[in-house]
């Protein structure tokens, strides 16, 4: 995964607002009416970063979208290493020896932290005050409410103004979970253009299908 250069600086003067845009290789639609949506999406992403400041290392690791690292893997790594500095310094052998991690996830984590742009993003998030340490049970009373907690999302198609990684970051920061396949346990499918079979599966299972605007409304309801 490669983190692109900042894109939020036009919308927020604070330095920490200029961090989270991920390049996925997809093209964005440029239209005369897109600036309002971009500003709104940027605002939500900034809010998600701010609210994640005290949500701890496990939530941060999951939200970063490290390949092969799901919620459980993020929690296991967080409990084992306690800080992102210790995790980034771990060798492949040490990572693979962590319970339930193994060599595939270990190599993915190693490659993520070796990437210069990922290092830059983590540094910017640290400067923003985002928590880089594991939260203990005594700390959870200060966590922000998560309106999407327990909700399972699937993303499909090309969204108008958000990349999939940006949408996933917003969802996970609000407590939701993003999976790759549509099942009866899926709560929402967020669909853009050319959604494909996941859209059809959601229709067959009568799962609510959201647009990017619908997702935006859910996220704004958190504040």
CATH number of the domain where residue 105 is located: 1.10.150.20
**pLDDT tens-place string over residues 163-210:** 887 788 778 777 788 898 999 999 999 999 999 899 999 999 999 999
Number of domains in the chain: 2
Rounded to the nearest angstrom, the gap between the alpha carbon of residue 107 and the centroid of all alpha carbons in its chain is: 20
Same domain for 153 and 167, yes or no, is: yes
| pLDDT band (50, 70, 90) for residue 35 | low
Q: For the chain, what is the mean pLDDT?
A: 75
Same domain for 69 and 138, yes or no, is: yes
Nearby residues of 161 by Cβ (< 8 Å), 6 or more positions away: 28, 29, 34, 37, 38, 41, 212
pLDDT at 105 (0 to 100): 94
Sign of CA dihedral 162, 165, 171, 176: positive
| pLDDT band (50, 70, 90) for residue 148 | confident
Is the pTM value of this prediction over 0.75?
no
| Over residues 148-176, mean pLDDT | 85
pLDDT at 164 (0 to 100): 81
Last residue of a domain, one of 94, 116, 142: 142
Domain span at residue 207?
2-53+144-220
Same domain for 138 and 153, yes or no, is: no
């Amino acid at each position: 995964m490669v983190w692109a250069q900042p894109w939020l600086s036009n919308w927020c003067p604070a330095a920490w607002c200029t961090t989270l845009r991920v390049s996925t290789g997809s093209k964005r639609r440029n239209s005369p009416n897109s600036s309002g949506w971009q500003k709104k999406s940027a605002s939500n992403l900034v809010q998600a970063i701010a609210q994640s400041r005290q949500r701890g290392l496990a939530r941060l690791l999951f939200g970063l979208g490290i390949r092969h690292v799901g919620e459980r893997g993020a929690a296991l790594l967080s409990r084992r290493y306690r800080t992102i500095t210790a995790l980034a310094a771990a060798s492949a052998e040490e990572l693979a020896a962590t319970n339930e991690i193994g060599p595939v996830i270990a190599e993915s984590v190693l490659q993520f932290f070796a990437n210069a742009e990922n290092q830059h993003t983590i540094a910017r998030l640290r400067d923003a005050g985002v928590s880089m340490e594991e939260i203990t049970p005594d700390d959870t009373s200060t966590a922000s409410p998560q309106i999407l907690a327990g909700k399972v999302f699937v993303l499909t198609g090309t969204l108008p103004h958000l990349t999939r990684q940006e949408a996933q970051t917003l969802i996970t920061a609000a407590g939701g979970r993003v999976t790759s396949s549509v099942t009866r346990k899926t709560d929402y499918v967020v669909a853009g253009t050319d959604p494909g079979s996941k859209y059809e599966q959601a229709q067959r299972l009568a799962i609510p299908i959201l647009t990017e605007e619908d997702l935006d409304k859910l996220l704004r309801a958190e504040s």
